[in-house]
Amino acid sequence: MQRRLAGKTAVVTGGANGIGRACCERLAVEGANIVIADIAAAD
């Protein structure tokens, strides 16, 4: 497997679920360091 993003850092907003989470998972597979930002909805 080619780790094209090894040594790179990605910042993902909305990364806790949905498309953001899928992006985080793929970035991790590609070797990126990931910073995930998300907020919890107020109840």
CB 4 within 8 A of CB 26: no
What are the tens digits of pLDDT across the range 1-43?
A: 578 999 999 999 999 999 999 999 999 999 999 999 999 888 7
Could you tell me the residue ranges of all domains in the chain? Answer: 1-33
Please provide the distance, in angstroms rounded to a whole number, between the alpha carbons at the two ends of the chain.
43
- State the Cα–Cα distance between residues 26 and 40, nearest whole angstrom: 23
pLDDT at 38: 94
User: Rounded to two decimals, what is the model's pTM?
Assistant: 0.81
pLDDT at 7: 94
